[in-house]
Structure 1
Amino acid sequence: APDSGRHRTVVPRRVAKEREAAVRIVRHHEYGPSRVLRTEQAEPPAHGPQDVLVRAAAIGVDHADVQRRLGTFPLGAPPLPYCPSTDVAGTVVEIGERVTGIEPGQRVVVWQAPDAYAEFVAAPAARVLTLPDGLGFAEATLLGSTGRVAVHLLQTARLTAGETVLVRAGAGAVGHIAVQAARALGAERVIATAGSPRKLDFVRSLGADAAVDHTRSDWPARVREAAGAEGVDVILDGVGGPRLLDDVRLLAPYGRLVCYGASGGDSEQPAVPLMDLMGMRQVTGFTMATMARGAPALVEEGVRLLVRLVTDGSVRPVIHERVPLDEAARAHDLLEQRVSMGRVVLVP
């Protein structure tokens, strides 16, 4: 039998009192503009024997949250009513009886916590990572799925030192981590695309050797000029849409394109002509769920790498704005209007 003294749920009196009352949660009951997001009262989330209960201090807001709210997410619209599942940093207040290695009072981040736009979240302990000392809660949300995606994309692309990397949408939550991680992992040249002068300056400040305005029709030519005659060795693309074929044609011989989303709003992705791959170019898709199922050891390696890069200062998570939980609609507007740089977080 487990040591009940070690694993028993421990709830300080002040926490127990807080949990007796209803807590705030943000949901939408229909698809549509940001105003469909509502702050509601709900019972605190229940947690099982292998789960932890976390009081949220910062909640990441992702472009996928916007697409799901609009009902345009490429993998399908979520069932209604819906509360986004995203990264949450906060403090553990309760643990399930089978949880080990995590204790109440610890600062943690939960990746892809269910019903995340809320004051409390419950999630499997396997999705919980304790935080390094000195890392703020808002910045820590980027140790969740967003930062992991950036590092796992580079793992999937098998980046080696001396190669040229192109990061599409380099000013975004994933992109700004990928720009820095690529540099830290030995890329000789990092090129980033962005859609405004402020964002172009931002990606340069992160270490991009070249910044290209992807709103210009000639952006592929400008990338090729920055990359050199051979082309780009690694391309990370979460934008998708018809211009994906431009990525393919920018690849150097043996180049690798990793596609991980469609933030550009086009759910229909183009077919890649076989002849465009004859230069030994490779195109692959990426999802966290598939990698977690098929290569758990590689996932763990990536998580350790991300923590090291953040801890030693090689990667600097950037927070664009901290928005009150009750103003979740404004947080969505920042992403939908494409003005944010780094990550937007909600603060309960």
Structure 2
Amino acid sequence: MRLISYHEHGSPDVLRVEDVPAPAPGPGRLLLRTEAVGVNFVETQLRGDTAPFPSPLPGRPGGDVVGRVEALGPDTDGPVPGTRVVAFGVPAAYADQVVVEAERALVVPEDIDAATATALGSSGQTAWSVLDAARIAEGDTVLVHAAAGAVGHLVTQLAKLRGAGRVIGTVGSPAKADFVRAHGADDVVDYRQPGWADEVRRLTGGRGVDVVLDSVEGAVFKDGLKLLRPYGRLVYYGFAGSGGKVAQVAMTELFGLTYVVGVSLDAWTKADPARVAEARADLVRLVAAGALRVAVHTTLPLTRAAEAHRVIESRSQLGRVVLVP
């Protein structure tokens, strides 16, 4: 079968198609035949060795995989062969067949197309976990960074569904503004422009925001923290703009009755399994009903994984980038 990997760090050109034996599922795991793979930004950072944690070689990009169960490993309780599922955090995901942990697999209805269904993996579940941590109250003003991204356009919609009174989305280029408004934002601000935080203050009459959802970090992190009203919450869940250097917060910066909480999908799934099961069921229901709209920016063949990475690194995407066999 085909597997995309890299043996050195660098540009997307280091990605290679390899011919390898099909994997075999061990205990607690499933073998899937791939239908679609959701490409996540962090994999471009790992490939380029710019993530704020080690990126060992050889690298085999992970992702969100939609596929059919072909086999169950020994002593595995899971969907029967033939069942269509999506799994998140799949290692070596850019492949014709993948092995996934059974507990990370979610059954996908047949009427949800494969590219759309990739959002039921890490992007949709991350959006849900971020909003759980934000504890949004009815009428809150919420600032969503990178609101046109794979997670951003989902979290913007979900914030509204949870009762946010006003959502301000930030973008890295004016060309994304209409897309962000179409996916639930009341206002849009370009965070790459000097004075972007002052524009947020103007939009809120100088009061700032109740919640900041930050997957960008870098230069916007401290300004976002200063935008919080008393008892405001900044939820940190990514580092797309960090350049490999994680932001630092002095405790004295929280004296304004503000909170910072970090979220990872693994921590969320372990914290309250019953809550997570409900959230996953709700995600499927919302996507199937069209109440949560998944934007697919482009769908590319598996062999064009390098192009998929270039699209993401260009910061031009609107929603998901997906690979198909």
TM-score, normalised to structure 1's length? 0.90
Give the counterpart of 1:209 among 175, 186, 198.
186
Equivalent pair of 1:181/1:314 in contact (CA under 8 Å):
no
- The 5 A counterparts of 1:227-306 are 227-306=204-283
CA–CA distance in structure 1, aligned partners of residues 26 and 252 of structure 2: 52
Instruction: State which drifts further: 54-63 or 97-106.
Output: 97-106
Equivalent pair of 2:78/2:102 in contact (CA under 8 Å):
no
Give the counterpart of 2:62 among 85, 88, 91.
85
CA–CA distance in structure 2, aligned partners of residues 270 and 62 of structure 1: 21
CA–CA distance in structure 2, aligned partners of residues 330 and 265 of structure 1: 23
CA–CA distance in structure 2, aligned partners of residues 252 and 217 of structure 1: 21
CA–CA distance in structure 1, aligned partners of residues 8 and 101 of structure 2: 28
Give the counterpart of 2:23 among 41, 45, 68.
45
Matched residues, number:
325
The alpha-carbon deviation at position 260 of structure 1 amounts to: 0.8
Q: Provide the residue aligned with 2:12 in structure 1.
A: 34
The alpha-carbon deviation at position 97 of structure 1 amounts to: 4.4
Q: Which amino acid aligns with 2:164?
A: A
CA–CA distance in structure 2, aligned partners of residues 273 and 54 of structure 1: 46
Q: Which amino acid aligns with 2:13?
A: R
Q: Which amino acid aligns with 1:226?
A: L
Instruction: State which drifts further: 223-232 or 338-347.
Output: 223-232
Q: Which amino acid aligns with 1:190?
A: V
Q: State yes or no: 1:162 paired with 2:139.
A: yes
The alpha-carbon deviation at position 222 of structure 1 amounts to: 1.2
Equivalent pair of 2:29/2:100 in contact (CA under 8 Å):
yes
CA change 1:71–1:164 in 2 (3 A) is same
Give the counterpart of 1:94 among 71, 76, 99.
71
Q: Name the SS of the counterpart of 2:151 in structure 1.
A: helix
Cα deviations by residue, 1:37-93 (Å, 9 ceiling, x for unpaired)? 00010000110242211111110111101000001111222x211111210001112
CA change 1:33–1:207 in 2 (3 A) is same
CA–CA distance in structure 2, aligned partners of residues 29 and 269 of structure 1: 26
Q: Name the SS of the counterpart of 1:141 in structure 2.
A: helix
Give the counterpart of 1:70 among 9, 24, 48.
48
Q: Which amino acid aligns with 1:149?
A: T
Structure with max Cα Rg: 1
Cα deviations by residue, 1:198-243 (Å, 9 ceiling, x for unpaired)? 2111101111000111111111011122233321111110101132
| Identity within the alignment, % | 45
Q: Name the SS of the counterpart of 2:235 in structure 1.
A: strand
Q: State yes or no: 1:124 paired with 2:101.
A: yes
Give the counterpart of 1:334 among 311, 317, 322.
311
Q: Which amino acid aligns with 2:185?
A: A
TM-score, normalised to structure 2's length? 0.96
The alpha-carbon deviation at position 261 of structure 1 amounts to: 1.2
Equivalent pair of 1:155/1:302 in contact (CA under 8 Å):
no
Cα deviations by residue, 1:91-113 (Å, 9 ceiling, x for unpaired)? 11222343335111111101111
Q: State yes or no: 1:146 paired with 2:113.
A: no
CA–CA distance in structure 2, aligned partners of residues 133 and 102 of structure 1: 14
Q: Which amino acid aligns with 1:234?
A: V
Q: Structure 2: 5+ residue runs without aligned partners?
A: none
Instruction: State which drifts further: 331-340 or 127-136.
Output: 127-136
Equivalent pair of 1:241/1:265 in contact (CA under 8 Å):
yes
For the aligned residue pairs, the C-alpha RMSD in angstroms reads 1.4
Q: State yes or no: 1:185 paired with 2:198.
A: no
Q: Structure 1: 5+ residue runs without aligned partners?
A: 1-22
Q: Which amino acid aligns with 2:85?
A: V
Equivalent pair of 1:53/1:120 in contact (CA under 8 Å):
yes
Cα deviations by residue, 1:163-191 (Å, 9 ceiling, x for unpaired)? 11111000000101101111111111011
